[in-house]
Amino acid sequence: MEIKKNISGNSWINAGSVIIVLLLFSIMAASNVTAPIYELYALKYHFGPFIITDIFAIYVLMLIPSLLFWGQYSDKHGRKLPVGIGVVMEIIGLLSFLLARNMYMLFIGRAFMGLASGAIAGPASGLLFHYHRKAGAVLTSIGTSAGTATGPLIGGLMAQYFPYPLRLVYLISIVFVLIPAVAMYPLKDTSPKNPMLKLHFPSIDKDVTRIFLLSSFAGFIAWSITAFFMSLAPVYIITLSGINNIAIGGIIVFIMLGIASVFQIISLKFKIKGSMFTGMVFIALAILFILISIMKNSLYIFIIGTVFAGMGQGFAFTGATREIKEISPLDKTGDMLANYYIIIYLGVGLPVIILGFMDRITGLFNGILYYGIAFIIFSIMMGILLAIENFKD
């Protein structure tokens, strides 16, 4: 299947890349169907926002060591086995939610989902980079963000309007994960391998350290605001709107990440550092509008902030991923991606954990206020650094 030709004559997207993107999409969707459903679990098992952030954070705690190991393993032995193992762990995680009888099984489920994402993210992205060096970064960003957007939408709608709200969505998710996983089995892995590679803590070549860190922290900020929408935003939206409808939280998350997916494509018209700079500007605006929505108690202003957040995430994440692709040696792709994803997922986990603690100390709304002010400052600082770097070029 050939959809588009690039300048060199190689297919921009072929059957193999479509299957890999669909697998990334399905894994991210399945891992995030829980986002709007946490409110139901909180009512059922009697816990508050602090526990929600802990359940969300255990995903990151398991994901990072998984990234470290499987990224290097894939550079040495190939990328298909880690992806297959990741699929198995994702299904175990979904089964844990499906069969959950207490709060602790939710932690177990999220832990396995984190291990799964760590095993799949680097190797699958590496396969895409190998299949299509030019398009791999874009396809990785689109598959990841589109899946992350669709999961909460499906979870929210099914929890609100379908029977068995804490069961059926996980059965469907298992099917969605298995279809591209089975389709991927016949694909050949011809990406470069380094049999002499020894397991090590990932390192970065000195000549690319500065630009690697700059790009990675742009991705950190992009996924920090995403983490807010994936964890506490549904609870906050229900409180703000006064409408007790689980689907609303999922729809808002879908809008944010759906817009992000669209602007990931639009961002390709920008230079890489220009894309990241634009992302920082929109993220700062997004947080500002979210803070205003708190003070004005306005869901409509929150939605404006949501739109800006999606635009900022799209520009910043794709720009950062494109830059990492540009500076990654072919034989160290897994290593570079592991480092990149570690920083990104620290952005997913650490701020949410901090926000959970702040909720306990100051209350949810004040916690979001302090969290938001800090990230506006952080985004502005990153924007200045990116502008300086762009001027040097």
Which residue ranges form the domains of the chain, and what is each CATH number?
A: 15-188+205-392 (1.20.1250.20)
* pLDDT tens digits, one per residue of 283-298: 999 999 988 988 888 8
What percent of the chain shows pLDDT beyond 70? 85
Tell me the average pLDDT of the chain.
83
Per-residue pLDDT at 52: 82
- 245 — pLDDT class (breaks 50, 70, 90): confident
- Whether the predicted pLDDT of 358 surpasses 90: no
- Whether the predicted pLDDT of 101 surpasses 60: yes
Overall average pLDDT of the 142-153 stretch: 83
- Whether the predicted pLDDT of 65 surpasses 80: yes
- 172 — pLDDT class (breaks 50, 70, 90): very high
* 358 contacts 367 by C-beta, under 8 angstroms: yes
The CA distance from 351 to 357, in Å, is 10
Per-residue pLDDT at 240: 64
Give, in order, the Cα–Cα distances in Å from 343 to each of 62, 72, 214, 350: 14, 16, 11, 10
- Whether the predicted pLDDT of 249 surpasses 80: no
- Whether the predicted pLDDT of 63 surpasses 90: no
DSSP 78: -
What residues does 4 pair with on adjacent strands? 13
What residues does 14 pair with on adjacent strands? 2
Region for residue 72 given its phi and psi (left: phi exceeds 0; alpha: psi -120 to 50; beta: otherwise): alpha
Overall average pLDDT of the 64-79 stretch: 82
Neighbouring C-beta atoms of residue 174, cutoff 10 Å: 15
pTM: 0.78
* pLDDT tens digits, one per residue of 183-218: 888 877 766 666 666 766 666 777 777 888 899 999
Per-residue pLDDT at 11: 47
Is the model more confident about 195 or about 340? Answer: 340
Overall average pLDDT of the 314-320 stretch: 91
Angle between helix axes 15-32 and 136-161 (nearest 10 degrees) is: 40
Q: Which residues of 139-154 are buried (b: 16+ CB within 10 A; e: fewer)?
A: bbbbbbbbbbbbbbbb
